[in-house]
Amino acid sequence: MLHAIVKGDITGLILAGGRGSRMGGADKGLQLWRGLPLAQQVLQRLGPQVGPVLLNANRHLETYRAWGLPVLTDRLPLDFSGPLAGFLAGLDVCATPYLLTAPCDSPLLPPDLAARLGAGLLAAQARIALPRAGDRLQPVFCLMEAGLRDDLRAFLQSGGSKIDVWTARHRMAIVDFDDAHAFENINTQDDLQRLERTDTP
């Protein structure tokens, strides 16, 4: 029995397709933190853990494309419809057995996220693996089988939009992480400034 997923079998997807409404409409992925845009900080953390990396965005597409990543937009009429629309955009082009998503506003994500979620998924013979930290599930960090593409499309077309409702339809592994701070996300300018002052790795 397999105990680990080879990183080349996982496509990473950075989710930067939101409206940034709590940040005054700013594109969160392009907000600077420690001298780099947040989405690039996430890329530096996620990239070494996976094979190909994709980026989901719905504006400033040329800026993101200049980073050398394939940039995917949400499929109409799902644009700006939340993380699941980004999941589907990634699954539609994913050429590996698994897709791992991460939001563009969580620059401290664990360096062993993919390995631990992969091990948990295989151990539970699950189709989806999610991290849990501080007694809270972190469903936007989702490792899923690429074969869930058509199921997710049908869910969205039926009017579904909530990650927890969709993931609950499938066999799921929950993987506990000790550091809840690693999953902290930046929603506002105040969050950005506060995290800038925090002594974090």
Whether the bond into 77 is cis, omega within 30 of 0: yes
**Number of C-beta neighbours around residue 192 at 10 A:** 18
| Total of domains in the chain | 1
**Number of C-beta neighbours around residue 80 at 10 A:** 15
- Output the domain CATH number for residue 79: 3.90.550.10
pLDDT (tens digit per residue) in 99-137: 999 999 999 999 999 999 999 999 999 999 999 998 999
- Distance separating alpha carbons of residues 85 and 83, to the nearest angstrom: 5
- Distance separating alpha carbons of residues 167 and 183, to the nearest angstrom: 19
Question: Among residues 84, 89, 47, which one has the least CA distance to residue 68?
Answer: 47
> What token pair was written down for 71?
């940039």
In a domain, 2, yes or no: no
In a domain, 107, yes or no: yes
> What token pair was written down for 131?
């991290």
13, 101 in Cβ contact below 8 A? Answer: yes
In a domain, 193, yes or no: yes
- CA angle in degrees (0–180, nearest 5) for 17-165-117: 70
193 pLDDT more than 70: no
In a domain, 120, yes or no: yes
In a domain, 1, yes or no: no
195 pLDDT more than 80: no
Domain that holds residue 127: 7-197
Axis-axis angle for helices 149-157, 83-93 (nearest 10): 140
**Whole-model pTM?**
0.92
In a domain, 187, yes or no: yes
* pLDDT band, residue 143 (cuts 50/70/90): very high
Single-letter code of the amino acid located at 112:
D
188 pLDDT more than 70: no
> What token pair was written down for 141?
């960090």
* DSSP states along 151-182: HHHHHHHTT---HHHHHTTS-EEEEEES-GGG
The more confident residue out of 25 and 98 is 98
